[in-house]
Amino acid sequence: MPKQAFHIRAAAEGDLAQICEIYAHYVLNGLASFEIEAPDLTEMTHRWTGAQDHGYPYLVAEIDGRIGGYAYAGLFRERPAYRYTVEDSVYVSPDFLGLGLGAGLLGELIDLCAGLGYRQMIAVIGDTANDQSINLHLRLGFEHAGVLGSTGFKHGRWVDSVMMQRALGPGDAQAPSE
């Protein structure tokens, strides 16, 4: 498929049906998500609204009027000391792989989170063989932080979780302003 121009913007409620389809593909056919059943539109709307309510960026890549991928940041862990750390999620439709949407989405997400004052971004990637996601994160400055072996059981096999991490803004070089 030849390179096509795409536009990255904040996700809107009208995008959620296409986001739901993209995510369902990965839930049902892959190991990137550890969910077993694809959430319906009501659940995906609830998740998007929750991200909006907490001020986390939630982006889409639009190409020729279609949503080709999406990315969002969210809570890494609930304890207060984690308040400067976010976890990223990036999914690209199988119809739009290889066009740079993942890098565009993740790059914009990194910039937005740094601008919001977050200091660390964590990627939790399903499956040590998920080279596309691992390489995407490496290209955008993430480093391997470890592998949690056999943390999920899906499609009849045990699946590892790859942990990756990237500093945002000044990272840990200085204390955040409270």
- Residue 81 confidence (pLDDT) above 80: yes
Q: Provide the H-helix boundaries in the chain.
A: 16-29, 41-53, 101-115, 131-139
Is 175 among the domain residues? Answer: no
- Residue 52 confidence (pLDDT) above 90: yes
- State the CATH number of the domain containing residue 50: 3.40.630.30
The model's pTM: 0.96
Higher pLDDT, 168 or 177: 168
pLDDT of residue 2: 53
User: How do residues 156-172 score in pLDDT, each as one tens digit?
Assistant: 999 999 999 999 999 99
User: How do residues 107-144 score in pLDDT, each as one tens digit?
Assistant: 999 999 999 999 999 999 999 999 999 999 999 999 99
Number of domain units in the chain: 1
Q: Is the dihedral of CA 53, 51, 114, 161 positive or negative?
A: positive
Is 103 among the domain residues? Answer: yes
Given a contact cutoff of 8 angstroms between Cβ atoms, the answer to whether 73 and 88 are in contact is yes
Percent of the chain with pLDDT over 70: 98
pLDDT of residue 3: 62
Domain that holds residue 135: 7-167
String of DSSP letters for 141-163? T-EEEEEEEEEEEETTEEEEEEE
| Cβ-proximal residues to 91 (8 Å cutoff; 6+ apart), any chain | 22, 23, 26, 32, 69, 70, 71
DSSP secondary-structure letter at 169? T
Is 177 among the domain residues? Answer: no
- Mean pLDDT (the chain) is 96
Average pLDDT of span 66-75: 98
Average pLDDT of span 44-71: 97
Which pair of structure tokens corresponds to residue 127? 């499956």
Give the chain's count of helices (H) and strands (E): 4, 7
